Structure 1
Amino acid sequence: MKRHVALASVTIAAWLFYIGVLTSRSRWTESNLAFDISGIADDILQDTTLFPQSEDPLKDVFNETLGFQNIFVVSLPARSDKRDSFTMQASLSNLSFTIVDGVDGRAVPSQALPYTFDQSHGAIGCWRAHLNILQQMVQRRIRSAVIFEDDADWDVALKYQMTQLARGSRWLTHQPENVTPHSPYGDNWDILWIGHCSTGPDETDNRRWVIPHDPTVVPPDKRWEWEKPDMSPWEDGPDGDNHTRLVYVPDWGSCTAAYAISLSGAKKVLYRQSMLPFNEPVDNGMGSMCREKTFNFSCISVFPTIVGTSTPAGNKDRVSDIHQGESEEEQYDEESHSWRLMFPVRQNIEQLLRGGTTFKSAFPDFTGEQMELSQIGSGVGHAEWLEEVVYEVTVEVDEEQDLDFLDGPQENQINGDRVEIEESSTIIAIPGLEQEAELLNDMSGSSDHELHNDKDLFTHIEKTAMAPLSESI
């Protein structure tokens, strides 16, 4: 009997130790601080304006998995060079991760593809590698994970940036303030698109989490995304700030340098992209799910992106495993580069290895040559609601002029803007009219209704609303 009791005690102790190991990974501890240097991160974590002093999990953003249950990295087994780079970057950022082998699309049999799927071998391999991770999440009931591709790079202040993303995600997903979420990012999201090459906002949602004066924002002329938010409400005017970052609900997305996905999101993507007719690259497919709200797919994105990419020195054919060999001539880079980032880890490895706290900027003309970590991560966000920018145009015409096309009310679509035509001949356009006469000519649809741009035609153009409404949260 005593032997059984002792054995039971040992078993219980072992289980308690195992549970303690599991739970310790998802909670913040001092040993998990990013860049544990000079107490900077610890000082930030004690700032009650950023981190409520309670059981709120927001501090978990500073643990080894950014507050998610796991970090996965997609990497082809043959690309040991990319694994070396990612391992160094993650170690210097105090991140722990699991590598998941990439897939050679040529090895995926046609029987394993969804109905109608017709993509290149590179796109097939990328699709299957990401779905393998989602399959693992569903099988193991992993609550949330960040998925990086092995060429991802990020700023030295990543965990500070992710803290602001978490605050914005909670607000955008209507996380109740009186309910403590399980995740620092709230409990009502499917995907957080933190590393992309294009995500435009959902124009039906006028909410923006605005992070002004953020030193990690790249210059406007280095933002090469083809779909992105209109930044003019924050960047234009005498008090404009082109160091502004937005968190918002996206209409679409492309590229998967990094994204976080919840268990709910993993189930939805796995079902939509594997078990139903499907014919898009994996990233565009998730973008379509955001646009179509497939199975109430809940998406959050950020612009400019938080996670970028890096490319090694040498033959440019080394850069992409999806588009490998597509270039007809060999091209070389003498040194490595990081893209869409201001203070990239990849370009600051030597400084990090020395234990430095000051890091060099990729765009010194925009920020100065170097900056302290505490300043790099100093951006703090707040909530804003965009008010529609409305121009009112009053038209005076001669009695002989034929304006039957203005009879209304009716609606026209001009250059992607919604235009309402009222019986009073007053035209309301959103977001605005730059070429009033040309616009009216387009609306008429006929040269018989041509209107000339003379000073008597337009009596006034009044901008009736222009500034976003804001509230500190």
Structure 2
Amino acid sequence: MLRPSWAAYGNTMRNQRSIILAAVLVVVALGILGSRYQVYSPLQGQKFSFTQSNASPRTAAANSTLGFERLVALSTKPSWRTRGLAAAANLTGLEFTIPPQAQNSDELVEAFRNIGESHGAKVPAFGSAKAWLSHLDLLKYVVASGLETAFIVEDDVDWDVRIKTEMGLVSDNVRAYTGVNEEDTTPFGTNWDVLWLGHCGSIITDDINPPPRVYADDSRCETELYSGWSKRFLREKLVEGHRQVQMSLMSVCTFGFGVTKQGAKKMIPLLTKASEEAFDVALSGHCRDQKLKCITVNPQLFNHYEPPKDSGYLSDVHVGDGQGETSEEAQFEHSKGTTGNIMKSARCEALFHDTCMRPPSEI
């Protein structure tokens, strides 16, 4: 912050020079702030913009941004994560934007945590709080960019090589589930705040209202191959070879989620207090309390890729949470890892010409 001290100047000319210099600094600062959210596509090496087409909703959902106005990745720096994201995106014809991330200081992270503590809330550990603030920065980017819709992913995200076909089915069924008028040709309508497509589980119950919309999708992970805490719901409540669109019930992990303009605007004030153990848990709570209208596709279409278990890799969040140190990228980047619940991983096909399903589990 510029704090001129007029008493420090001895004459009028010096005062005038100070005022001119201050004005220049303010203009420069505004220019820097204005360019903070400049849109760029490091995966393609060029800027791009979303243009509306006359394609059908299903066809639009299979375009290079999967029917959203922009695909946005949360990433703090180039790494094995972004290189794998680029490889998978190029293989499947997707175009991501990685906006410049704010460098939130340790003091800011601690201040954010203290907001929750002062209200007696359960607060995130340091690494989780830092990731939470990064998600908030991306939501601000969506609003500042004037986007009608965006799909936000974490930079280690993975998906099936058939993602465009899958998203065509998502379009058909989200539109039907939310009652989109035929005159509205948007791929998913906008009668939702969060469209949660990348998660690590969600409850299925007979009490969901409105009732889920079940649809066939032969690319879906087989139930017995599924890994995660919600496996029993798939086994007991969902027909094999099918997914369902439903209201979100305890969805967790924000591997990939869509937001509408109004959804992003609602989320920012709701999530500016560290009141839970992590961003995804807080988001799930607001969905549960109906402060946000959240729709989930179950089971998920996006999950995170993990380096080999014996590589010594630990995520930045876990390192920040004090769970240990991670190994150097060179020790694992070129060794095939795993992705849970994605039958034909785009990352593993692009990088290793292979599939890489995580072993099935109940947790």
1:312 aligns with 2:290: no
CA distance in 2, matches of 1:132, 1:23: 21
1:245 is aligned to 243
List per-residue Cα deviations over 1:404-444 (Å, max 9, x = no partner).
xxxxxxxxxxxxxxxxxxxxxxxxxxxxxxxxxxxxxxxxx
1:194 aligns with 2:194: no
1:106 aligns with 2:106: yes
User: 2:137 is paired with a residue of what secondary structure?
Assistant: helix
Q: CA deviation at 1:288?
A: 0.8
Larger Rg computed on CA atoms: 1
Q: CA deviation at 1:291?
A: 0.5
User: 2:196 is paired with a residue of what secondary structure?
Assistant: strand
List per-residue Cα deviations over 1:241-290 (Å, max 9, x = no partner).
x222222111222111111111111111101111x673341111111111
| Letter of the structure 2 residue corresponding to residue 59 of structure 1 | T
Alignment partner of 1:299 out of 294, 302, 315:
294
Q: CA deviation at 1:60?
A: 1.3
2:86 is aligned to 87
Given the superposition, is the C-alpha separation of residues 71 and 80 from structure 1 closer, same or farther in structure 2, using an over 3 Å criterion? same
2:30 is aligned to none
Q: In proportion to residue count, which structure has more strand?
A: 1
Given the superposition, is the C-alpha separation of residues 156 and 107 from structure 1 closer, same or farther in structure 2, using an over 3 Å criterion? farther
Q: Which has the higher contact order (CA 8 A, sep 6+)?
A: 2
Q: CA deviation at 1:206?
A: 5.2
2:344 is aligned to 343
What is the aligned length? 301
Q: CA deviation at 1:143?
A: 1.0
1:176 is aligned to 181
1:12 is aligned to none
CA distance in 2, matches of 1:106, 1:258: 26
1:68 is aligned to 68
List per-residue Cα deviations over 1:366-404 (Å, max 9, x = no partner).
9xxxxxxxxxxxxxxxxxxxxxxxxxxxxxxxxxxxxxx
| Letter of the structure 2 residue corresponding to residue 159 of structure 1 | K
TM-score (norm 1): 0.57
Q: CA deviation at 1:112?
A: 4.6
List per-residue Cα deviations over 1:336-369 (Å, max 9, x = no partner).
22222100011211687xxxxxxx5556x99xxx
CA distance in 2, matches of 1:184, 1:328: 43
| Letter of the structure 2 residue corresponding to residue 63 of structure 1 | N
Given the superposition, is the C-alpha separation of residues 131 and 233 from structure 1 closer, same or farther in structure 2, using an over 3 Å criterion? closer
User: 2:316 is paired with a residue of what secondary structure?
Assistant: coil
| Letter of the structure 1 residue corresponding to residue 50 of structure 2 | R
Alignment partner of 1:155 out of 151, 155, 160:
160
Given the superposition, is the C-alpha separation of residues 264 and 94 from structure 1 closer, same or farther in structure 2, using an over 3 Å criterion? same
| Letter of the structure 1 residue corresponding to residue 255 of structure 2 | A
1:211 aligns with 2:210: no
Q: Is the 8 A contact 1:317 1:327 kept in 2?
A: no
CA distance in 1, matches of 2:318, 2:326: 14
CA distance in 2, matches of 1:193, 1:327: 30
TM-score (norm 2): 0.72
CA distance in 2, matches of 1:23, 1:81: 24
2:17 is aligned to none
CA distance in 1, matches of 2:344, 2:109: 42
Q: Is the 8 A contact 2:336 2:352 kept in 1?
A: no
Q: Is the 8 A contact 1:137 1:266 kept in 2?
A: yes
1:132 aligns with 2:137: yes
CA distance in 2, matches of 1:109, 1:157: 39
2:275 is aligned to 278
Given the superposition, is the C-alpha separation of residues 313 and 55 from structure 1 closer, same or farther in structure 2, using an over 3 Å criterion? closer
Which is worse superposed, 147-156 or 310-319? 310-319
Q: Is the 8 A contact 2:151 2:258 kept in 1?
A: yes
Q: Is the 8 A contact 2:161 2:346 kept in 1?
A: yes
Q: CA deviation at 1:317?
A: 4.2
RMSD of equivalent CA atoms: 3.3
Q: Is the 8 A contact 1:200 1:228 kept in 2?
A: no
CA distance in 1, matches of 2:136, 2:349: 33
CA distance in 1, matches of 2:204, 2:112: 34
Structure 2, gaps ≥5 residues long = 1-46, 118-122
Identity, in percent, stands at 24
Q: In proportion to residue count, which structure has more helix?
A: 2
Q: CA deviation at 1:307?
A: 0.4
CA distance in 1, matches of 2:55, 2:98: 31
List per-residue Cα deviations over 1:57-107 (Å, max 9, x = no partner).
332112221111111111122x52211111111111211112133766735
Q: CA deviation at 1:329?
A: 10
CA distance in 1, matches of 2:257, 2:201: 13
Q: Is the 8 A contact 1:191 1:298 kept in 2?
A: yes
Q: Is the 8 A contact 2:314 2:325 kept in 1?
A: no
Given the superposition, is the C-alpha separation of residues 228 and 90 from structure 1 closer, same or farther in structure 2, using an over 3 Å criterion? farther
Structure 1, gaps ≥5 residues long = 1-21, 29-53, 236-241, 353-359, 367-473
| Letter of the structure 1 residue corresponding to residue 171 of structure 2 | A
